[in-house]
Chain A
Amino acid sequence: MSNFLPTIVSRSQSSNIMNFFVPIIAIVLTLITGSIIFLLLGFDPLYALYTFFISPISSSYGISELLVKATPLALIAIGLAFCFKNNIYNIGAEGQLTMGAIFGGGIGILFHDTNTFWLLPLMIIAGAIGGALWGLIPALLKTKFNTNEILTSLMLVYVALFILDFLVVGPWKDPHGFSFPKSRAFSDSGRMPLLFDGLRVHFGLIITLFLIFISWFVFSKTMLGFQLKVSGFSPKAARYAGFNQTTLIFLAFGICGAFAGIAGLSEVSGPIGLLYRDISPNYGFTAIIVAFLGRLHPLGIIFASLIIALTYLGAEDAQLFLQIPSAVGFIFQGLVLFYLLGAELLINYKLSFKRT
């Protein structure tokens, strides 16, 4: 006898194969749902999917734009992995990104008429410090006052955005900017070098890949990586082993903040070149999806960042060519995360059609 509806049976051991397949299942289900949405909106689903996912990357310019978008996403997501592995829910990466842009960009504005080799490294370091400081606030509040880091890190996003707003309409406003809310442009040596002539993909990509490699090393080869993993699986075991949870929280938030800060700096010193209000199309929040979709694994995060970056590009093209509002990109991002979380069931449980 078999049941029409499957029952959920616990696996004795979590499935490694499923761990790999779950993101793929999620992406396939998202594409199917996407076709249905396009169909309901009155478009030929195949043509719409082509416009959304294929045509944006069918030129070298498109590939470069994809990498430009994937760069901050991957960098923030690998930082978030330090937090999420330990079940620390830092969701304020957008604020840490903004603070990194403010600190690093501040240096860029200060030396706007200087052209030296040390300017960009200094800006990157300042960006990392800014992001890390902003990230350490929720860590401090959590360890010292037991405050929920989800809420504090999120509140600090709003605070950081208001500070940026204050700076670009106030003290850092471009004196020759016709009262537009933007700063002076950085000098050429304060800009990320471009990797190819005529394409926007910049040196931030190299930094991101380097930091992802470092993170992979930390996760798989060092004591810190092991401690993060154990604390995430079982806080009790971690305590028993004598791991200092307070230190781990500070480290995770500090590293994540620094990475997000560098991502923010490489945005403003890369494609943008100055400070203004809208430096990030929600990269800090979208990176949460990238981190989960990449299963907190360095390689997974690289792939996930490319896929999510594609939803940004696809949404722009869909708006341009099909007049579909670009917000549909965010819908895809939300959907893929829904499917992913739902499909995660298959890692620890299996579906049984047999009557028990």
Chain B
Amino acid sequence: MSVDLILGILQIVLIATTPLVFAGIGELVTEKSGVLNLGVEGMMLVGAVTAFVTLVITGSYFFAFFISLLSGVVMSGLFAFLVLFLMSNQIATGLALTIFGIGLSSMLGKEYIGTPINGLSPWFFVIFSFVIVFLVSYFFYKTKMGLILRAVGESHNSAHALGYSVIKIRFLSILFGGSMCALAGSYISICYAPMWQEGMTAGRGWIALALVVFATWKPERVLIGAYIFGGVTILQMNLQALGLRFPGQFFSMAPYLATIVVLVLISSNRLRIKLSAPASLTLPFYKGR
């Protein structure tokens, strides 16, 4: 193993893991405020396609990312409206968001499958993914707003009694989560792939949801988890490329199986999950009269 090879693999792992970090940290913030959004996969796909299509039409990377983030805000805003104002079931609404996102993205991207684009260098985003994790961590544990957000996620009734607007804080957390998912999607279609293909996020949104559990709702641990998954993914790709006498499909399963194994290892400690999960997660908030 030469140093170059190791550096090369490290580079690929960094590039492949970055979208998981974005989506994971976005969902973490949403869940910390007490809302579970299962629409990650759908928001990533719509983020990916809007960025790609905007880039093809305008040729501007800035507009591509801008429109993509906007799509994340709109998609998660729709979700927020349903779960916060209409108090709909968060799990079902998140699923609806994913199904809707799969449909919307494949409709918007129909004409653009296989359109070539000039990919953007991923390194700015790779660095930004580390920065955003530490910013979120700082926000949660060193600022008053972060404390309030966590309080809303732990006990919305107490936070409400103290005079904080539960709905507003949750709304903003959901929008942050949505824009991070869209960023993850646009990174995949513009930097990582770079191309558009139906369902191209290939379950990364669901893995991001698993990451939050893995991280026991602590921001820095999202990084650790994401790099384990990123490492497994790249490892299986390389082993497949080596042409071992072993069917490729079994390597392709590896990231999904690894997710299950990791979830089992983390969740089997019931007390830890109970203590780390935001206590109000998935509970609707009704002010009453």
Contact = CB atoms under 8 A, between A and B. Distances in A.
Interface of A: 8-10, 89, 91, 141, 144-148, 150-152, 154-156, 158-159, 162-163, 165-166, 170, 285-286, 288-289, 292, 325, 327-335, 337-338, 341-342, 344-345, 349, 356
Contacts of B249: 162-163, 165-166
A148 B89 contact: no
B89 A344 contact: yes
Given A146-B267, A163-B249, A338 B103 contact: no
| B interface majority secondary structure | helix
B99 A334 contact: yes
Given A145-B267, A327-B103, A342 B88 contact: yes
Interface stretch (B129-137, B150-158, B173-181, B252-260): B252-260
A350 to B, nearest CB: 13
8 contacts: A145-B268, A155-B206, A163-B249, A328-B107, A334-B104, A337-B96, A338-B78, A341-B86
Nearest to B252: A162
B272 to A, nearest CB: 10
Contact of A341 (B82, B260, B267, B286): B82
Name the 5 nearest CB pairs between A and B, nearest first. Answer: A334-B100, A330-B103, A341-B88, A166-B249, A337-B96
A151 B206 CA distance: 7
A327 B267 CA distance: 37
Interface in B198-228: 203, 206, 209-210, 213
A210 to B, nearest CB: 28
Contacts, number: 137
Nearest to A165: B249
Given A151-B209, A331-B103, A341 B250 contact: no
A333 B103 contact: yes
Given A337-B100, A345-B87, 19 more contacts: A91-B95, A152-B260, A154-B206, A155-B257, A159-B256, A163-B249, A285-B99, A288-B95, A288-B99, A289-B96, A330-B99, A330-B100, A331-B104, A334-B96, A335-B100, A337-B95, A341-B86, A341-B88, A349-B87
Contacts of A349: 87
Contact of A345 (B78, B88, B209): B88
Kindly name the residue among B101, B103, B106 whose own CB sees the greatest number of chain A CB atoms within 10 A: B103
A338 B252 contact: no
Nearest to B248: A166
A355 to B, nearest CB: 12
B100 A331 contact: yes
Contact of A342 (B82, B101, B259): B82
Interface string B265-289: 0011010010000000000001011
Contacts of A146: 267-268, 270, 273
A151 B94 CA distance: 13
Nearest to B247: A166
A163 B253 CA distance: 9
Contacts of A292: 92
B253 to A, nearest CB: 5
Given A158-B253, A159-B256, A327-B103, A150 B91 contact: yes
A288 B98 CA distance: 12
B127 to A, nearest CB: 29
A147 B264 contact: yes
A236 to B, nearest CB: 15
A292 B94 CA distance: 13
Contact of A170 (B100, B104, B247, B270): B247
Contacts of B267: 145-148
A341 B96 contact: yes
A148 B266 CA distance: 11
Contact of B286 (A10, A91, A289, A344): A10
A289 B253 contact: no
Kindly name the residue among A8, A10, A154, A329 whose own CB sees the greatest number of chain B CB atoms within 10 A: A154
Contacts of B264: 141, 145, 147
